[in-house]
Amino acid sequence: MKRLILLIAVLVSTYSFSQEEKDNYASVAKSFETFFNEGQYESIFNLFDNEMKAALPLDKTKEFLGSNLRQNLGKIQSMTFLKTKETAHIYKTAFENGLFDILLSLNEANQINGLYVSQHVPDNLPTLERNITKMILPFKEEWFVFWGGETVEQNYHVAHKNQKYAYDILMMKDGKSYIGDSKKNENYLVFGKDIIAPCDATVIKVIDGVNDNVPGELNPKQLTGNTIILKTENEEFILFAHLKHNSIIVKEGENVKKGQLMAKCGNSGNTTEPHLHLSLQNVEDMNIAEGAKLYFDKIMVNGKVVEDYIPVKGDKIKNLE
């Protein structure tokens, strides 16, 4: 679900061990910053080599730089050389609306043959392997794990650093998640079901007011939709995404107790049908976070009581009480 603004083109494959900025890169970076801020996207296009121009024609260059980067992030306030990666240079770039890394690669003629823009991730983020806070499932009744587990086969989230080990959970009956017309949210078994706090924690972020999608449609501009993020006393961050429009009843700064009602399951954000996206991460900001394993203390799994368990794809899970 991560909103990542990027462009990848041909990169050179030779290695360089220098961590000093080269003069030719400094010059091109300065030109890139000036042209970008002045909206001269064709001038940036003219800095590309022929392969870049073929991979990203002028109209696509203008769309990427203007409609994508500039519209979302604003002007560049500064570009600071950070390090090299092979022969390419990485610049920590402060936009008006966020901090990103810009990787530039040049050929021997000092033409741009590679460009990559990604969220800047600090080097000193805390590490988190799993939760030590005891958790219950954040819902009542029996739910079905659509994606979950520690392998990509069980859980596609594993391939994405900031969503690693996340769950997508819904409700099923007779092999289907809905009854009747699949275009109506109200026909999905999980839609409107209670979302409860899995432990005592503090609400540190709330996103509300995002409309629920028509099933089958996506909202990539508001990836997590209506969202709650909790912080435990052990510095663990729990994200609940795709919640129902106007259903969140907790506020930022509020301390919640295990089992307390927080919201309803919905279909908001970048999702095709109602479900709960649930993940544990090492920091609040999902854009730079790394996912961690979320264990549940004592739950029912496929009719049996298990302890300290990671649900996997295909499990039917519910709390003991």
34 falls within a domain: yes
Contact 85, 105 (CB under 8 A): no
Q: What would the mean pLDDT of 178-194 be, rounded to a whole number?
A: 98
Co-location of 178 and 303 in the same domain: yes
Buried b (16+ CB within 10 A) or exposed e, 37-69: eeeebeebbebbbeebbebbeeeebbebbeeeb
Q: Tell me the whole-structure pTM to 2 decimals.
A: 0.77
Contact (Cβ atoms closer than 8 angstroms) between residue 225 and residue 207: yes
Q: What is the mean pLDDT of residues 18-24?
A: 85
Residue 108 DSSP code: T
| CB-CB contact of 232 with 238 (8 Å) | yes
CATH label of the domain that carries residue 91 = 3.10.450
pLDDT at 4: 37
Task: Summarize the confidence of residues 209-227 as an average pLDDT.
Answer: 95
Tell whether 29 is covered by a domain. yes
Per-residue pLDDT tens over the stretch 36-54: 999 999 999 999 999 999 9
Asked whether residue 282 is assigned to any structural domain, the reply reads: yes
Are 85 and 200 members of one domain? no
Instruction: Please state the domain count of the chain.
Output: 2
Domain holding 301: CATH number?
Answer: 2.70.70.10
Handedness of CA 291, 273, 245, 299 (dihedral sign): negative
Quick: pLDDT tens for 276-320. Answer: 999 999 999 988 899 999 999 999 999 999 999 999 999 999 999
Tokens in use for 117?
Answer: 């823009």
Q: How far apart are CA 197 and CA 230, in angstroms?
A: 9
Look up residue 114 and give its amino acid: G
Q: What's the start-to-end Cα distance of the chain, in Å? A: 32
Residue 18 has pLDDT above 90, yes or no: no
- For residue 96, the enclosing domain spans 23-119
The proportion of the chain whose per-residue pLDDT surpasses 70, expressed as a percent, equals 94
Question: Cα separation of 103 and 86, whole Å?
Answer: 11
Q: Do 167 and 308 sit in the same domain of this protein?
A: yes
- Do residue 80 and residue 209 come from a single domain? no
Which pLDDT score, from 0 to 100, does residue 121 have? Answer: 87
169 and 313: one domain?
A: yes
Q: Amino acid identity, residue 217? A: E
191, 211, 199: which is closest to 296 by C-alpha? 199
Which of 64, 85, 119 lies at the terminal end of a domain, its last residue? 119
User: Among the three residues 119, 154, 171, which one is the final residue of a domain in this structure?
Assistant: 119
Helix (H, G, I), strand (E, B) or coil at 195: strand
pLDDT classification of 6: cutoffs 50, 70, 90: very low
Q: Are residues 72 and 151 in the same domain?
A: no
Cα–Cα dist 169/96, whole Å: 36
